[in-house]
């Protein structure tokens, strides 16, 4: 399977704990995106990487959220001191070089986070 | 405030008929609009898009119409097939961002046999 993969698929944690999610994009895709989706809503953009550089970051991304893509391949999204409001589906997407609009984003299956 | 609105949470259509999904937006600075389809337990997949300089784009059974004066776009699926049953999201991109999309809440389309 050469699609975007995310790990874990599900995560249950207690309030105040830290969690980290991983995204492996399609190989040779240099652009990577993180989104958050809550029940009954569409995805909300969180951040965007081109290679290892984080080029865009939503105002929604509080200081407790941090994303990295150290070698320009896989990416991690960490949430520190989780809150119940962080419960959501976290989606990762990637797109190949040369694209200027988001029509060719390929999404992973998401990581569902539940904060108790 | 929601800049992209899909006011119908669900829509049921007979197989073979036309499905029309609607989307309204409030920001006149949006310059690109996209439709994505999502099956359960999968991420969204791109379906069709339209630039704000056009009023129609067609791809096979799928056509997107844009009415800028009304700030409204619609997705037409003709003829509807059982495999079209999914959640459809409308998304928009503003001129001030190359990669940030604003998404609607989605419409669940059910195709009845």
3-state secondary structure chain A: CCCCEEECCEEEECCCCCEEEEEECCCCCCEEEEEEECCCCCCEEEEEEECCEEEEECCCCCCCEEEECCCCCCEEEEECCCCHHHCEEEEEEEECCCCCCHHHCEECCCEEEEEC
* The predicted structure's pLDDT at residue B89: 97
- Which band of pLDDT confidence, cut at 50, 70 and 90, is reported for residue A17? very high
- Taking the Cβ of residue A56 and every Cβ of chain B, the question of whether any pair is shorter than 8 Å is answered with yes
pLDDT in tens, B65-92: 999 999 999 999 999 999 999 999 999 9
- Taking the Cβ of residue A109 and every Cβ of chain B, the question of whether any pair is shorter than 8 Å is answered with yes
Cis peptide before A8 (omega within 30 of 0): yes
| pLDDT string in tens for chain B (113-residue length) | 679 999 999 999 999 999 999 999 999 999 899 999 999 989 999 999 999 999 999 999 999 999 999 999 999 999 999 999 999 999 998 877 777 889 999 999 999 99
**Cβ separation of B43 and A107 shorter than 8 Å?**
yes
Closest to A109 measured CA to CA, from B95, B44, B90: B44
- Taking the Cβ of residue B1 and every Cβ of chain A, the question of whether any pair is shorter than 8 Å is answered with no
Closest to A13 measured CA to CA, from A86, A67, A68: A86
**Cβ separation of A104 and B89 shorter than 8 Å?**
no
**Residues in chain B closer than 8 A to A112 (CB atoms):** none
Selecting from B9, B93, B103 the residue whose C-beta is nearest the C-beta of A43 gives B103
* The predicted structure's pLDDT at residue B1: 67
* The predicted structure's pLDDT at residue B104: 96
Q: Is the pLDDT of residue A2 over 90?
A: no
**Residues in chain A closer than 8 A to B44 (CB atoms):** 43, 91, 107
Q: Is the pLDDT of residue A38 over 90?
A: yes
Mean pLDDT over A72-97 rounds to 94
């Amino acid at each position: 399977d050469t699609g975007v993969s995310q790990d874990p698929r599900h995560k249950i944690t207690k309030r105040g704990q830290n969690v980290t999610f991983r995204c492996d994009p399609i190989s040779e895709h240099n652009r990577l995106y993180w989104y958050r989706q809550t029940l009954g809503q569409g995805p909300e953009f969180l951040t965007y990487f081109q290679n290892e550089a984080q080029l865009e970051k939503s105002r929604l991304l509080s200081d407790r959220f941090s994303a990295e893509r150290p070698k320009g391949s896989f990416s991690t999204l960490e949430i520190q001191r989780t809150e119940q409001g962080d419960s959501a589906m976290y989606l990762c997407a990637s797109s190949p070089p040369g694209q200027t609009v988001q029509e060719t984003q390929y999404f992973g299956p998401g990581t569902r986070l539940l904060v108790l | 405030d929601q800049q992209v609105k899909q006011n119908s949470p669900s829509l049921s259509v007979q197989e073979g008929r036309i499905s029309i999904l609607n989307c309204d937006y409030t920001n006149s600075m949006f310059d690109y609009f996209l439709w994505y389809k999502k099956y359960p337990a999968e991420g969204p997949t791109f379906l069709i898009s339209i630039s704000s300089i056009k009023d129609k784009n067609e791809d096979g059974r799928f056509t997107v119409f844009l009415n800028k004066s009304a700030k409204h776009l619609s997705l037409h699926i003709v003829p509807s097939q059982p495999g079209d049953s999914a959640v459809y999201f409308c998304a928009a991109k503003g001129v001030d961002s190359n990669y940030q999309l604003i998404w609607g809440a989605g419409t669940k389309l059910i195709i009845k046999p």
